[in-house]
Structures are given as C-alpha cells and as structure tokens.
Structure 1
C-alpha cells in the first residue's frame, strides 16, 4: 500500500472514530510513521484529504455495487444491512454519519463530495427497493425514496445509539427492518 493510501485509510479511521474536526495531520503522521510534510506533499490542505477520504468511500461503493448488480433485491438488502453491521463491529460510525455531524464546520468542497456520495447510496437503495416492490418481494407504504431515506437514516442512527444501548438492539433493529419490508399485510 502506498503512503498516500495509508494516509487516506488512517484519516478515514480517525474521521469515523473521532470526527473530522478532532484529528490533525500530526495524528496521521504518528500513525503512519511519516513527517507532516509528507502528508502535505499528497494533501496540501485538510480539505484535500477529506475529499480523498470521501472519494475512497465512493470508489469502494462502486465496487460493491458492481459486485451486486445481478443480485436480487433481498440480497441487496442483506448487503446494505451487512455494511452497517461491519461498521458497528469495527466500533466506528459511517463516513456520512460522522461528517454530517460536522456539516456546519466543513468546507464546501467536502460538503459537495459528501452530497454526491450520499445521493449515490440513496439512489442505489431506491432502485432495489423499487424493484423489490415491483417484484412483490418488498411491501411498504409510501415512495421508495422516502423508504430509502428512512432505512439509511435508521441505520446511521442505530450504529450510534446502540453504542449506548447494546448490540442486541442493533440486531433487533436490523431484523425488524427486514421483516417489515418482507411482510405482506
């Protein structure tokens, strides 16, 4: 892994652990074992690094999406839920949840990239919800976009709140999400 990739991954971990405003290039230099000047070589400003971290998530999202393009809506739901399960198991929060809490203090470039990423994830969830509803796999009231926003926001929030209430609640939330989508009233 290149130094640049190491910097991005450490920054990603720090953002998802401490928050964007709570880490510095000094933290990264200590973790990677390089001088701060080496970080500035790759990322002149913190905004550049923040954008690179979001782009890293966008790239990973596109790879996952491609791997699942031929899967059923139910398999896509399971993948969606597993992403948040993995985040929870890593004792992190998702990049969208972390950066959204810093929204009012973020540079416009980071906000714009975050909106692009969020919209891509939202559109993916809308697509498999809609297709699942058309196939009769999923049953829900309202528009697929509203349901997608509800699912995403529930998972983002549940990763955070169940740090306090416990893993059992997280498991139950995911179980109920799946049961509510599949049940046919």
Structure 2
C-alpha cells in the first residue's frame, strides 16, 4: 500500500469542489456511474462524517457515517448507532490493505462520535470483508429502511454490527431492525 493521506471530516467542512472527485470514486467502486453522475457524493442520506483516503490529492477510499436510532423489534427498543455506508475502495486499489485501513479508521471514528455501536448492511459478497474488519453479522435479522428512491423496503442482506463504546452483549435482541431514515 502506498503512502495515503487520511482525513476524517464533518459533512459541512467539505467544500463543493470535494464532491465531484468523491462522486467519481463512488461511481467506480459501485460500478454505478448513473447514481453519482450529477456530482453528488451521496446516494441517500448525506453522511455526517466522512473518512477519506487520498493518494496524490485524489480520493481512493471512502466511508460515511450518520448517527441515528434503530428500532429493535419486536420489543420496540431503540439503539443509537453510527450507521455506516458508502464504503468504497477504488477498484485499482482493492486487495492491497486499503479497505482494512479504512475500516480501522471507521472504528476509531465511531468511538470518537460516542456511539455504542456501528451498524451497516451489505451484500453477501462483501460480508467476509466486514467480518475480517471485526464486524459481526446479526443472524436472522431483517432491516426495514427507506431506500434511495424514498420507498419503504425490507432488506434481508446481512446486517452487521461493530461494538464501539459498548460490549457486543449490550446489543438488543431483535429480529427486525427499523432504520427510520434514508439509507446512507
């Protein structure tokens, strides 16, 4: 892995010029040029914090975090999480440890934000990546959310959690997690 420059920034600290390069990175990483074609560096909810790796000034890795409460059903309890999304490594950099370094910085950012847990949902093909970074799959859990088209959706893809300020045993029992806000 080459020497990268890392930043952790608040969303409002990014100037307008920063979004175009981030949008191009996300389009390459997700192979979705249509989703980020307008220079938006977000898909649903805008992140509150961003963790970005740069090489020679160009972004090569990215993750976004927004704090929110999830409802844990059936009992209806709530849990504060750092909802992690838009995790991306430039395809030309994958397999070189950049993603592992990114997720270590995400874990640090979750602690800095004071949230008890990190939460994300992912496709089955990348579950192993998150497991290797210390995340735990919540077996038998579905996630209800508002998708990027502003529609309610039930997601059966892996729901993953990372203990940040609380031990894993403090995670609530649930079969359904409700993310009452747009997907990050």
TM-score by length of 1: 0.31
Would you tell me which structure has more helix in proportion to its own residues? 1
Structure label with greater radius of gyration: 1
TM-score by length of 2: 0.31
